[in-house]
Amino acid sequence: MEDLQTLHAAGHEVGCHTYGHVSTLGLSPAELEADLGRNAAWVAERLDGHEMRTFAYPFGDCALRAKPVIDRRFLCGRGVRDGINAGRADRNLLQAIGLESRRLPGYDLEKLVQDTADAHGWLIAYGHDVSDSPTPYGCRPEDIDRLIGLAKAAGLDILPVGAAWARAAR
């Protein structure tokens, strides 16, 4: 919990990923609402009333019946489908890339970042952990540094998802 508070105090965005880390494919809208409410209460209690504004679908699983729930509660939600968000985007199922050790070898990050700049789009990168020995779902610090360096070199701003969505929605 101390890590969460430290990251939040440093300005990192704290978004929702459900309380139970369950796929939306198996939840009714009422069950999803209850899980999101439990998560909201847990986070607000630990972060002085913080209200999460963004959502990430566990496992990238987006049930059609979940989208109206996400629409009511959050500015936007993201899945795990690789891609750049440019032009019109589904704000309740934004595309993203997995900054994960198991997926990084398959990306041409230079091209992906340049394509993002050329399209006047935005790119969401996600992962679960950062360490010198990451899990298959995490990355190394130098992986993040590389992506940040490429984004800066391409003239892209680096923003939390909520701020990027707010800018894109203008």
pLDDT in tens, 138-164: 999 999 999 999 999 999 999 999 999
Considering the domain architecture, whether residues 87 and 63 belong to the same structural domain is answered as no
- Per-residue pLDDT of 85-131, as tens digits, reads 998 899 999 999 999 999 999 999 999 999 999 999 999 999 989 99
> What average pLDDT does range 47-75 have in this prediction?
97
Q: What is the pLDDT of residue 170?
A: 79
For residue 146, the surrounding DSSP H or E stretch is helix 141-153
For residue 5, the surrounding DSSP H or E stretch is helix 2-9
Considering the domain architecture, whether residues 88 and 63 belong to the same structural domain is answered as no
> What average pLDDT does range 24-44 have in this prediction?
97
| Dihedral, CA of residue 168, residue 42, residue 31 and residue 54, to nearest 10 | 0
**Domain stops at, among 29, 57, 74:** 74
Considering the domain architecture, whether residues 157 and 169 belong to the same structural domain is answered as yes
> What average pLDDT does range 53-72 have in this prediction?
97
Considering the domain architecture, whether residues 119 and 144 belong to the same structural domain is answered as yes
Percent of the chain at pLDDT > 90 equals 92
Q: 6 exposed, middle or buried (CB, 10 Å; 0-12, 13-18, 19+)?
A: exposed
Considering the domain architecture, whether residues 94 and 110 belong to the same structural domain is answered as yes
Distance CA 7, CA 160 (A): 13
Please provide the average confidence, as pLDDT, over all residues in the chain.
95
Q: What is the pLDDT of residue 168?
A: 85
Q: What is the pLDDT of residue 154?
A: 98
Considering the domain architecture, whether residues 65 and 89 belong to the same structural domain is answered as no
Q: Which domain holds residue 108?
A: 78-170
Considering the domain architecture, whether residues 115 and 168 belong to the same structural domain is answered as yes
